[in-house]
Amino acid sequence: MYVDQAVFASSRNTQASGYQLVSRSRGIDEQTATTLRDWGPSQGALLSRDVDASAYSYYTLGPDRAVVSRTIYGGPEYSQRGELEVYTRSIVVSKRMLENYDNNPWWLIKTIQTLGYFRLTRQSEPWMVEVDLPSRSLLGVQTKPSSRIGNEPLSLAVQSLQMNRPVALIGKLNIDDAMTQLMSCLGVQQRTRISFTTGMVPSVRRPFLLHLFPQGSATLNSKLIKLGISPVDC
């Protein structure tokens, strides 16, 4: 099944300079492009400064579609200020397609990662080709996570999500195990409405319902509380 994709990164061209949608497939109209720009992360968006840092994200795009993305560090910014570019590759899918993944955005993200569609690629043209995704997950039967969130923090997180209250899980978590466990605790019809990110600095521009952080700090906790996001230590 062919689906649309886009890249948000730092670039300079004849029309603009700075963080922008540098390339997209032709099925992404201007309204969708505007939403991708609004949610697009720029300098300082990744919590970790490690060059190998990454964040996976999911959010809905109106009633019928959703976006999954991976954000990483690319090469130096075009401005040559010494900072690494923050590079985000997004893939837009229909909610109907997600039904074939048991309404589990994390399964979809893992499938896309397995196929290599989240890799950093340099786009010299404004238009990209669509990507061909399997109609169902490639992952087969899902195994139980090897590391688990404790019962109390898990209960607090699930309760918050079910009540539509933003929450951040903070601790030395295996992201794959944590997301697998969380999704298994949510009803099938609840999963697609839970926007999440796994390592992005909290921002009013990107109102995710669920955040996952490998470690906390007083500064992070203060920012979370100011944005109305409940920190939960794991």
Q: Is 127 in contact with 26 (CB distance < 8 Å)? A: yes
List the one residue out of 60, 86, 53, 70 whose CA is nearest residue 5: 70
Q: What is the pLDDT of residue 75?
A: 78
Query: With contact defined as beta carbons under 8 Å apart, do 21 and 40 qualify?
Result: yes
Return the number of other C-beta atoms located less than 10 Å from residue 228's C-beta. Answer: 11
Instruction: Please determine, for residue 221, whether its predicted confidence score (pLDDT) is greater than 70.
Output: yes
C-alpha distance from residue 85 to each of 48, 181, 209, 233 (Å)? 14, 32, 26, 31
| pLDDT at 119 exceeding the cut of 80 | yes
For 3, 14, 44, 170, 230, the CA distances from 165, given in Å and listed in that order, are 31, 42, 25, 16, 8
- Please say if the pLDDT value at position 135 is more than 90: no
Flag whether pLDDT at 37 surpasses 90: yes
Residue 203 has pLDDT above 90, yes or no: yes
User: Which pLDDT score is estimated for 93?
Assistant: 98
Q: What percent of the chain has pLDDT over 70?
A: 92
pTM over 0.85, yes/no: yes
Task: Indicate the pLDDT class of residue 143, thresholds 50, 70 and 90.
Answer: low
Six-digit token string for 35: 């939403």
Contact 123, 22 (CB under 8 A): yes
Q: Average the pLDDT over each of 17-21, 50-54, 90-94, 116-120 and give the range with the smallest value.
A: 17-21
Check pLDDT > 60 for residue 14.
no
